[in-house]
Amino acid sequence: MYNSGRSVASRIQQLESHLDRENPVLLESVKNFRTLDKVAYSMGLLDKEESFATQIPWWPLVSILGTFSAGKSSFINYYLGAKIQRSGNQAVDEKFTVLSYSKEEHTLPGVALDADPRFPFYQISTEIERVSEGEGQRIDTYLQLKTCPSEQLRGKILIDSPGFDADAQRTATLRITDHIVDLSDLVLVFFDARHPEPGAMQDTLKHLVGETIHRPDASKFMYILNQLDTAAKEDNPEDIVGAWQRALAEQGLTAGRFFTIYNPDVCNPIDDENVRKRFETKRDNDMFDIKERMRLVGVERCYRIISALDKTARDIEERIVPIINENQQKWKKLVLIGDSILYGLFLILFLSITIKLDYWTGFSFNPPWLADFMASPIKYYFTAGFFTVLMISSHFFVRNLTANMVAKKLKTMTINSFFRGNLSAAFLKNTKPWRSIFASTPAGWGRGSKKKIQAVLGNIDGFVQTLNDNFTNPSGTTKTPTTEQQENTNPTTEEMTETETLAEK
């Protein structure tokens, strides 16, 4: 697996230096993430080389998904005003391509993304390795970074995904797809109007639509029927759109708008002037709305980061601590039951042997060697010590066995897309030999940790108010930020030299 060799502290310092120039509000949020890190370290939720700040992308992120030949790459080229992505009727690129702004065009390998916390694929090799052993080392086969001087990229990044075919997708590719969907501020899902047989691709629709509509952030998805110019000859766009709408409705998408567009640079000529004007009007209106959503992702990202900070803080106090407490109680019961069973077996074994040897007189234990044994302190203390160690060892055997049983179940528990703390490790920290099974609070969770959480939650309202001051103007007394200012509220990728250095490492 790829390892950048740089500590999490240096990565966060790099992130802070960018935000110090670009967005002081988000710089303050990084400091609050570090406060939450300290709480997580003390509880065992995070390793010392992990940070909540590196688990979310800090740049506005637009991901573009879709079926093969749905026109994703040609849409990107049209949007950027540059032919940066190859396009064609067949699959022309099987990698996820991260597109970022720079004064010059570059193509860098996947490790440039895996090693840089400013990008959404930071340490994705670890995630891939978990679901597909050995694939984490082959990150360059899944990812690449391209830079372009298009002003449309300034302040945001785009992700172009390989053509989606659910039956043929490898586990690692699906994992990356789910990863970018979780992190994206906007997800454009493209379908191909040239193939009006959506019923034949139910598996694809299920993954791209059926598994997303019930998400709490479902509003960030835009479903786009591309290359509608192919319907101009028969002048039947309503029939094609209707077929796709019915297919999407079968997956549960019964509300919301379905956008229809085509690329004017590569479209088929439309001879009938009335039909052409009708198609162009619809295309231009929908394209305007799509571009407007893409323009505003910088603003949405700022609020999403603050929301992630708020959610992480609340998760620790309101969800993680109760979960650990609940599992501590389960573990305590299992230990008490296990001790009772084990000690009961010892007692039964002892009684069965001594009764068979006729060592009991009524209820009195009276073996023939007892008097000589009691007269020898060395034998007495040695035997007492042996049985004491045996009982204690048996107790800790039960503790470890039951703790591993509980921890195994916790490994599969997912809190939400913003929280990636290790519940299993946090629980196991409570089962250390020096901690009592009757402890009332989780390890690392005390008055100091609670104060840190409350301090972070107290700062969040101030962050939101500052963002509101930057992006709104209810009184109309001051000048609102320009479009360029809004788009530049997040770091850009001007410093490509540093990224190239990371790739070389």
Q: Which two tokens stand for residue 450?
A: 């609670």
CA angle 240, 241, 244 (to 5 degrees): 90
Interatomic CA distance for residues 430 and 426, integer angstroms: 7
Q: Please, which residues have CB within 8 angstroms of residue 135's CB and are 6 or more apart in sequence? A: 128, 129, 142, 172
What is the reported pLDDT for 164? 64
3-state class of 494 per DSSP?
A: coil
Average pLDDT of the segment spanning 445-461: 94
pLDDT tens per residue, range 91-105: 455 788 889 888 888
Cα separation, 312 vs 51, whole angstroms: 12
- Kind and range of the H or E element at 65? strand 61-66
R_g (Cα) of the chain, nearest Å: 31
Q: Which residues contact 424 (CB under 8 A, 6 or more apart)?
A: 407, 408, 410, 411
Mean pLDDT of 258-275: 79
Query: What are the tokens at 449?
Result: 């940790």
- Cβ within 8 Å of residue 438, ≥6 positions away: 332
The candidate with the shortest Cα–Cα distance to 109, out of 119, 456, 353, is 119
**Cα–Cα distance for residue pair 154/493, rounded to 1 Å:** 8
Q: Write the secondary structure of 165-179 as one string of H (helix), E (strand) and C (coil).
A: CCCCCCHHHHHHHHH
Q: How distant is the alpha carbon of residue 394 from its chain centre?
A: 41
Domains in the chain, start-ordered, CATH in brackets?
A: 1-52+300-471 (no CATH), 56-295 (3.40.50.300)
Beta bridge partners of 364: 361
Per-residue pLDDT tens digits for 53-101: 877 777 788 999 887 778 888 899 889 988 887 765 544 557 888 898 8
The tokens describing 349, both together, are: 């074994």
Which two structure tokens, joined as six digits, stand for 328? 């501590």
- Higher model confidence: residue 137 or residue 42? 42
At 230, is the secondary structure helix, strand, or coil?
helix
pLDDT for residue 260 is more than 90: no
Average pLDDT score over the chain: 79
By DSSP bridging, strand 364-365 and strand 360-361 are antiparallel
End-to-end CA distance of the chain: 13
Q: With a cut of 60, say whether residue 27 has pLDDT above it.
A: yes
pTM of the model: 0.67
- E strand or H helix at 158: strand 157-160
Per-residue pLDDT tens over the stretch 380-437: 788 788 888 989 999 999 999 999 999 998 887 755 444 568 899 999 999 999 999 9
pLDDT at 471: 72
DSSP string, 247-292: HHHHTT--SS-EEE---TTTPPP---HHHHHHHHHHHHHHHHHHHH
Give the pLDDT confidence score for residue 296 in this predicted structure. Answer: 86
